[in-house]
Amino acid sequence: MESLTTTVGTTRRTAGATRTGAPAVRPDRRPAASTRWAAFAFIAPLIAYLLVFYAYPLYRNIDLSLHDYTPRAFVQGNAAWVGLKNYTDIVASTTFSKAALNTAAFVLISIVFQYAIGLALAVFFRTSFRLNGVLRGMFLVPWLLPLIVSGSSWAWMLNSDNGIVNSVLRTFGVTPINWLTSPHWVLWSVIIANIWLGIPFNLVILYSGLQNIPGELYEAAALDGANGRQQFRRITFPLLRPVSAVTILLGLIYTLKVVDIIWIMTKGGPGDASTTFATWSYREAFGTGQPDFSPAAAVGNLLIVIALVFGFVYLHLQRRQES
């Protein structure tokens, strides 16, 4: 009931905003009432869609995090209002600092390597050669595989006792590593798997970005005696900057939210050793015998805020670049 009134209220406000915007387009005369209704009808599905699928879930998530939703309260709908207690609890939790460090390391290292490898491959595939398309297609495989398949495969390959990675290490006389069960290595393992997963995305976007750089620039540079490295530094990299910014920003947001690959490979363990904010939130809500929706929502909202900050940083940079 509460949600319905909110939805209606927001509709009116959004609709109002649209109406005030309309005259600016046609300042010469007031649109006929029927046209205005038609205009509203056109925009209405979009507004309804935004409200139902974006505004309401977000509102609900905030609502969850400000109440104490025990399973009983969840069913009976009488959760106690606790204000910011869920937030102070998660910050005070011993998992918090561990998850914060893990999230930072997971995101930054993943992004740096995904971008660097993706860019190197994009530049490599820019020159046309035999089998270019086939090879490029093969690099997309990680993207096409269901995550449950690639996650399980990585877990299986990195298994301490029966994994192929350790058996290769053993063949070369290197001491096997407990990839998924040692607290020192486990974060690296999930990062490596995640880098592998993220390369195709970076490759595709950067490759299409490269297509937009005119070939004449390279010809001119070659005539001026610029070598390959100089061409990359002076032409490719600067002209690719807008595309790079989008790629990295999207990558940041995707990587912040990663749950599946970590959950499939390690469940965030051993202990908290590979727990990030995203897996922590998932574990609180769905990983134990008793769902804890409120702290889970609090951690989730924290993630949204972090993603928003990156979004604003991007907007700021873009605006500065334009002006």
Partner 1 sequence: MRISTHRRALGALGIAVTVASLAACSSSAGTAGGATASAAGGSKTYTWWDPYPQHDASSSWAKRVQSCGDAAGVTVQRTAYDTTALTNQALLAAQEGTAPDVILLDNPAVSTLADTGMLTTTDEFGLDTSKIDPNLLAAGQMNGKTYGIPIGANTLALYYNKTILDAAGIDPTSIKDWDSLTAALQKVKAAGHKGITFAGIGTEEGSFQFLPWFWGAGAKLTQLDSPEATSALQLWTDWVKQGLAPNSVIQNSQNTTWEEFLTGDFAFGENGTWQVDAAKKAKFPTGVITIPAKTGGAAPAPTGGEFIEMPVQKDTKRYATTKKIVDCMTSTDGMVQTATTFAYYIPPTADGQQALLAKDSSLQPWVDAVKAAKGRTSDNLGTKYPKISEQLWTAVQNALSGSATPADALKAAQQKAAAATK
Which residues of the shown chain bind partner 1 in the complex (CB under 8 A)?
Answer: 4, 34, 37-38, 41-42, 44-45, 48-49, 52, 71-72, 74-77, 94, 155, 159-162, 178, 180-183, 266-273, 285-291
200 vs 295 by CB, closer to partner 1: 295
Q: Are 193 and 265 in contact (CB under 8 A)?
A: yes
5 vs 290 by CB, closer to partner 1: 290
Q: In terms of DSSP bridges, do strands 80-81 and 67-68 run parallel, antiparallel, or are they unpaired? A: antiparallel
94 vs 127 by CB, closer to partner 1: 94
DSSP 52: I
Distance of CA 231 to the CA centre of its chain: 32
* 318 vs 304: CA distance, rounded Å: 21
Question: From the CB of 4, what's the least distance to partner 1, in Å?
Answer: 8
Question: From the CB of 75, what's the least distance to partner 1, in Å?
Answer: 4
Question: From the CB of 177, what's the least distance to partner 1, in Å?
Answer: 10
Alpha helices in the chain (DSSP H): 2-25, 33-50, 56-66, 71-76, 85-92, 94-126, 132-139, 141-144, 147-157, 164-171, 186-211, 215-223, 228-231, 237-239, 241-256, 260-266, 277-282, 293-322
Question: From the CB of 241, what's the least distance to partner 1, in Å?
Answer: 41
40 vs 196 by CB, closer to partner 1: 40
Question: From the CB of 182, what's the least distance to partner 1, in Å?
Answer: 6
Which two three-digit tokens encode residue 311? Answer: 């979004």
13 vs 72 by CB, closer to partner 1: 72
The CA–CA distances, whole Å, from 288 to 159, 282, 291 equal 24, 10, 6
40 vs 218 by CB, closer to partner 1: 40
Q: Are 102 and 276 in contact (CB under 8 A)?
A: yes
Q: What is the CB neighbour count within 10 angstroms for residue 292?
A: 19
Question: From the CB of 190, what's the least distance to partner 1, in Å?
Answer: 12
